[in-house]
Amino acid sequence: MRGPAEGRRSPQACDWPACAQKIVGHIEDSLCSTAIPQVTQALSVLTTAFGHCHGLWTQGLWVRLSPLVARLLEKDPVPASHSLVDLLLSVARSAPSSDRGLWETLAQTLSHLSPTQAGPLALGILKLQDCPQALRTQAFGILLQPLACVLEAAAQAPGPPGLLEGAAGDSMTVDTLLSSKSACVGLLCCALAHLGLLQPLPQRPSPWPQAPLLGAAVTILRLCSGSAAPTSDVGGRLCAILVGCGRVQRAALDFLGALSQGTGPQELVTQVFSVLLEYLVSPESSSMVLKKAFQATLRWLLSSPKTPGCCDLDPHTQLFLTELLPVLQKRLCSPCWEVRDSGLEFLTQMTRHWGGQAGFRQALLASEVPELTKQLLRDPESYVRASAVTATGQLSSWGLCASPECPGAQQESLLVELLHILSTDSEGFPRRAVMQVFTEWLRDGHADVAEDAERFVAGVLQAASRDLDWEVRAQGLELALVFLEQLLGQRGSHCPYAVALPETAPPGVLAQALQVLCRVQLFEFAFRALFDCDRPVAQKSCDLLLFLRAKAAPCGSPQEAGDSPNVASVEATLQRWQAGEQGQPLGYLEPGAVVALLRSVDLEGLRDTLAESSDHVEKSPQSLLQDMLAAVGVLGENEADCY
């Protein structure tokens, strides 16, 4: 059904075509039906309609159907509540903000639905751009209620006035929380998830009750760990329901992590760190809960205030760090690989951000964490090895891997060890991680790499070229590109406002660079990759060679090297490679031959071919025809018909 031309008034039902009227009639009947699947279907159809069409006629449709929708709310329980919420939100997103009737329906729905059902609607309302403040307050209250109940139940003494003002736990929410474990867990997880989603949005309610929310998250986590000792009856029952519940723990830790973006009173922040540490220490924390605890801890650590006028960590963080590192140490020894893995990820992130902070460096070097991390390079689990590679790479970048006595020896051995992993590890993940570390080291000018970059690149490319994992090969090209950029200057910036760099390199630099590139056998690697069976590798190689060609534009004339027998044989080899026979090596290439080759190979054409999606053949008319012919079955007889 197409909408009327812009500017015309909303057409009345009588103006609608017969088929539309029939559809609407059917939807009306369905909405009045007692069969829930029918109601659900009607609501879904309307949701789709309101979601996709914003014509004037939709308003007319809503005017006609809204009384029927409102009537659904009178039933107890409200049928198809999920679909109803979807519909109302869909309508609210497309309706003008002046539609009072709609806001009233939304308010009514919020109060009719059970706390669990009302959550998604409340979140949807709070995400709307224009919405009456009263409705927003009501919706926010619904999201806050479960947490208010928990705070109230767990309070040792009556809480300060105004705690989650306007959202004091109502009896319905308390009943839901205490009715069964699944209801309680469901409601709390939804509330936490919804508030977590709301937190970073610009349209989140203001003022945002950061402190009570922090208190609630901490309380929930304590109830779940059994460390809270509520005195009230409701608190005791909540504790019995929640203790050891991994789902709520995960949701609360996620929420706590989201809250790190805001500030809070120091006392509460201390509580946050203490509960996080409790979770990190506790042997009862499952691997998933630990992962979330590590993530939340990282977020809180990174958001902790810096001491004014000093680049070092504040005393609280420093103190926390001294307690945290022994825990991390123990976690890195865990028999559960997921735990070792999340511990390493945490370490990597922490080092990435704090590698330069003296306090962090001191604490880390005093611990056994760097040594343990290195030992995990030989972990039996490939994911852990991969994370250990990334972590040691990061530690090494900040000079945190080496013992102060003989830094050189330690670093070199790490380089050798990573190269060993790259060439021998049976799993792809650690090899990919090594390539990423090497690329980063090269880019950042890691001391040991910078010492003899040429040898380093040659070794890495040699190992990567033989790798069966396409991601390793692709990462090899990434490393090659970094190397190229270091030799020849940056690629053209994608930023339109950046100062344009000269496209070509000065001839002297170029000749020298080409010599180096030939020595590290970068071309062999790149040309082999050009005909790689994995498209992303070929694409990356194509880009790299195009970049190189652009840089090499002024170097020599096409005829000079192009006619040499060397180039002819290389071209022949390349053709064989393209045909899939990649056994023969390219042999040593002269810079001149390389430039000639770059010109002779149709890189643009190749790029265009590669740019086509892998299913372009299937989508082509030729393929369609073949499909049709195949479907018809007897090719010969029906050929004429198809044409």
Partner 1 sequence: MKLYCLSGHPTLPCNVLKFKSTTIMLDCGLDMTSTLNFLPLPLVQSPRLSNLPGWSLKDGNAFLDKELKECSGHVFVDSVPEFCLPETELIDLSTVDVILISNYHCMMALPYITEHTGFTGTVYATEPSVQIGRLLMEELVNFIERVPKAQSASLWKNKDIQRLLPSPLKDAVEVSTWRRCYTMQEVNSALSKIQLVGYSQKIELFGAVQVTPLSSGYALGSSNWIIQSHYEKVSYVSGSSLLTTHPQPMDQASLKNSDVLILTGLTQIPTANPDSMVGEFCSNLSQTVRNGGNVLVPCYPSGVIYDLLECLYQYIDSAGLSSIPFYFISPVANSSLEFSQIFAEWLCHNKQTKVYLPEPPFPHAELIQTNKLKHYPSIHGDFSNDFRQPCVVFTGHPSLRFGDVVHFMELWGKSSLNTVIFTEPDFSYLEALAPYQPLAMKCIYCPIDTRLNFIQVSKLLKEVQPLHVVCPEQYTQPPPAQSHRIDLMIDCQPPAMSYRRAEVLALPFKRRYEKIEIMPELADSLVPMEIKPGVSLATVSAVLHTKDNKHILQPPPRPAQPTGGKKRKRASDDIPDCKVLKPLLSGSIPVEQFVQTLEKHGFSDIKVEDTAKGHIVLLQEAETLIQIEEDSTHIICDNDEMLRVRLRDLVLKFLQKF
Summarize as ranges the residues that interact with partner 1 (CB under 8 A).
226, 228-231, 235-237, 239-241, 243-244, 283-285, 329-331, 333-336, 339, 368, 372, 375, 378-381
CA angle 77, 78, 81 (to 5 degrees): 125
Whose Cβ is closer to partner 1: residue 239's or residue 293's?
239
Cα–Cα distance between 278 and 298 in angstroms, integer?
15
Cα–Cα distance between 265 and 254 in angstroms, integer?
20
End-to-end CA, the chain: 35
Closest approach of partner 1 to the CB of residue 282, in Å: 8
Closest approach of partner 1 to the CB of residue 281, in Å: 10
Closest approach of partner 1 to the CB of residue 154, in Å: 10
Distances (CA, A) of 375 to 329, 360, 380, 460, 532: 12, 21, 11, 22, 35
593 φ/ψ angles, rounded to the nearest 5 degrees: -65, -35
Closest approach of partner 1 to the CB of residue 332, in Å: 8
Closest approach of partner 1 to the CB of residue 186, in Å: 19
Cα–Cα distance between 452 and 205 in angstroms, integer?
57
Whose Cβ is closer to partner 1: residue 340's or residue 599's?
340
Closest approach of partner 1 to the CB of residue 253, in Å: 17
CA-based nearest residue to 225, from 236, 239, 207, 237: 239
Closest approach of partner 1 to the CB of residue 271, in Å: 19
Cα–Cα distance between 46 and 52 in angstroms, integer?
10
639: CB partners within 8 A, 6+ apart: 629
> Quick one: tokens of 421?
């992993």
* SS3 track for 240-272: HHHCCCHHHHHHHHHHHHHHHHCCCCHHHHHHH
Residue with tokens 């902790």: 304
Whose Cβ is closer to partner 1: residue 379's or residue 524's?
379
CA-based nearest residue to 290, from 227, 336, 322, 258: 336
Whose Cβ is closer to partner 1: residue 118's or residue 149's?
149
Closest approach of partner 1 to the CB of residue 322, in Å: 17
Whose Cβ is closer to partner 1: residue 138's or residue 285's?
285
Whose Cβ is closer to partner 1: residue 72's or residue 339's?
339
Whose Cβ is closer to partner 1: residue 240's or residue 625's?
240
Give the CB-side neighbour count of residue 204, counting CA atoms within 13 A. Answer: 17
Whose Cβ is closer to partner 1: residue 119's or residue 230's?
230
Closest approach of partner 1 to the CB of residue 192, in Å: 21
Q: What is the dihedral of CA 453, 459, 461, 463, to 10 degrees?
A: -150
Cα–Cα distance between 536 and 355 in angstroms, integer?
33
Whose Cβ is closer to partner 1: residue 32's or residue 333's?
333
Closest approach of partner 1 to the CB of residue 487, in Å: 41
> Quick one: tokens of 205?
């309610």
DSSP secondary structure of 614-629: TTHHHHSHHHHHHHHH
Whose Cβ is closer to partner 1: residue 188's or residue 457's?
188
* SS3 call for 467: coil
- H-helix or E-strand spanning residue 203: none
Cα–Cα distance between 524 and 521 in angstroms, integer?
5
Closest approach of partner 1 to the CB of residue 293, in Å: 14
502 close to 547: Cβ distance less than 8 angstroms: no
Whose Cβ is closer to partner 1: residue 181's or residue 353's?
181
Closest approach of partner 1 to the CB of residue 230, in Å: 6
Whose Cβ is closer to partner 1: residue 149's or residue 239's?
239
Helix and strand tally (H, E) in the chain? 34, 0
Q: Which amino acid is at 406?
A: C
508: CB partners within 8 A, 6+ apart: none
